[in-house]
Amino acid sequence: GEDVEQSLFLSVREGDSSVINCTYTDSSSTYLYWYKQEPGAGLQLLTYIFSNMDMKQDQRLTVLLNKKDKHLSLRIADTQTGDSAIYFCAVLITSGTYKYIFGTGTRLKVLA
Amino acid sequence: ETGVTQTPRHLVMGMTNKKSLKCEQHLGHNAMYWYKQSAKKPLELMFVYSLEERVENNSVPSRFSPECPNSSHLFLHLHTLQPEDSALYLCASSRGSGNEQFFGPGTRLTVL
């Protein structure tokens, strides 16, 4: 079955780079997404990458996709305390009906 | 401003109560979703409505009953819930069922 996995926690110091990793099992994933959830709020779409791309950069965010290893990562440059949140990886599978599969989320803690 | 609102933001109910959660989207989307978010678990997709018709129901217990009267509104009717149903319930919408989803802030539900 489809599965999306992430590590549960990550701590970094303010100003350092953060790298949040995600692995998935279904090779028919077409779009891959990163969402951010701040305390008491819903999920906010941060960025996404289409499966025929290797990399996408958007200001401080860099998304890397290794399709062969089914590995997705989100790098946040110059991490700030405001980046502390839970980050969810999600994949869109389009074989048959459309299906979104979310990971468990990675809680990022930025230390001042 | 995400364009997706949910009310109430917090709800405490007894196991014998009947209550409803409401979601409204102002984005012109035609697909809406209910998710359940429990601690340390992946987001669980409960229901999907596309063009106001339910297209997916992941075998959710019948004590949860969705209603989608039009493309802008989505309800989740709750009846005789169990304490393990306590969670954050998130609503999302998208333009078509295969595009990125925009989330509301969620309703934090506590069942006593």
- Residue B65, burial from CB neighbour count under 10 angstroms (0-12, 13-18, 19+): middle
Nearest to A104 among B6, B40, B103 (CB): B40
Question: Per-residue pLDDT for B2 more than 60?
Answer: no
Is the pLDDT at B36 greater than 80? The verdict is: yes
Three-state DSSP class for residue B92: strand
Span A77-91, average pLDDT: 95
Chain B hits for A35, CB-CB cut-off 8 Å, are 103
CB under 8 Å to A68, separation ≥6 — which residues?
Answer: none
Q: From chain B, pick out residues whose CB is under 8 angstroms from the CB of A43.
A: 43, 90, 92, 101, 103
The whole-angstrom separation of Cα A105 and Cα A103 is: 5
Render the burial of A16-41: b for 16+ CB within 10 Å, e for the rest: eebebbbbbebeebebbbbbbbeeeb
Interface contact flag, B55 A45, Cβ < 8 Å: no
Mean pLDDT confidence for A88-106: 82
Query: Which of A24, B27, A12, B95 has its CA nearest to residue A34?
Result: A24
**Inter-chain contact B43–A44, Cβ cutoff 8 Å?**
no
> What confidence tier does B43 reach under pLDDT thresholds 50, 70, 90?
confident
Mutate to test the interface with A, among B57, B101, B108 (most CBs of A within 10 A): B101
H or E element, residue A30 = strand A29-37
**Mean of pLDDT values over B87-101:** 86
Q: Which amino acid is at A24?
A: Y
Please state, in angstroms and rounded to a whole number, the distance separating the CA atoms of residues A104 and A86.
9
Q: How far is A103 from chain B (nearest CA, A)?
A: 5
HSE of A63 in the Cβ direction (CA atoms, 13 Å)? 23
Chain B, nearest residue to A49 by Cα? B100
- What distances in angstroms separate CA A14 from CA A18, A43, A47, A109, B102, one per listed residue? 10, 23, 22, 10, 29
Give the span between the Cα atoms of B18 and A20, in whole angstroms: 41
CB-based contact A44 B56, cutoff 8 Å:
no
pLDDT tens readout for residues B62-78: 999 999 999 999 999 99
Question: In this predicted model, what pLDDT tens digit does every residue of A25-67 receive, in sequence order?
Answer: 987 778 899 999 988 788 888 998 988 889 999 999 999 999 9
- Mean pLDDT score of chain B: 89
Residue A89 pLDDT: 94
Confidence of residue A98 (pLDDT cuts 50, 70, 90): low
B100, A45: Cβ pair inside 8 Å?
yes
What's the confidence (pLDDT) of residue B98?
A: 65
Among partner residues A31, A42, A97, which is closest to B104 by beta-carbon distance? A42
Cβ–Cβ contacts within 10 Å for residue B94, how many?
Answer: 21
Cβ atoms of residues A87 and A34 within 8 Å: yes
The predicted-structure confidence for B98-110, as pLDDT tens digits, reads as follows: 678 889 999 999 9
Average pLDDT value for residue range B1-27: 91
| Mutant choice from A100, A101, A106 vs B, greatest count of B C-beta within 10 A | A100
End-to-end CA distance of chain B: 32
B44 → chain A, closest CA residue = A102
Which residues of A fall within a CB distance of 8 Å from B103? Answer: 35, 42-44
Give the pLDDT score at B69.
93
- Give the three-state DSSP class for B34: strand
